[in-house]
Structure 1
Amino acid sequence: MSTISAQMVKDLREKTGLPMMECKQALTESGGDIESAIEWLRKKHKGKMSERADRQTGEGRIGVF
């Protein structure tokens, strides 16, 4: 298992917009691979993303991963 650095968590958070602890957990589960972590997050948050897909955003940051 590789060491998960703060920079790796920060990079994943910037790509996904998800909370830092979610990103750290995804990196831990994927062995430090960013692309695998993104796929893990997609699978984990699939239900949440579909629930929120039709919501309107008035302002703020919007991210798609």
Structure 2
Amino acid sequence: MNLPLSVKALIVVICALISVIVGIVAGVISHKPPAPKGPAFLYGGGVFSGSLTLCLVVLTSLGVL
């Protein structure tokens, strides 16, 4: 696909926002109330990076990016 740069940037921003939501949900689910919040932040960050990588790889393989 021959998409303009602004549309590609918008797609990357949308992927990042979706990944942020997925990371927040994963961090909230993994947090246990008596435990400290640090491991939940790290888990959410890992899920965020994995989700963003997966989203960008799929869009690249489809030829969108």
Q: With a CA cutoff of 8 Å and minimum separation of 6, indicate the structure with the bigger relative contact order.
A: 2
Larger Rg: 2
- TM-score (structure 2 length as normaliser): 0.29
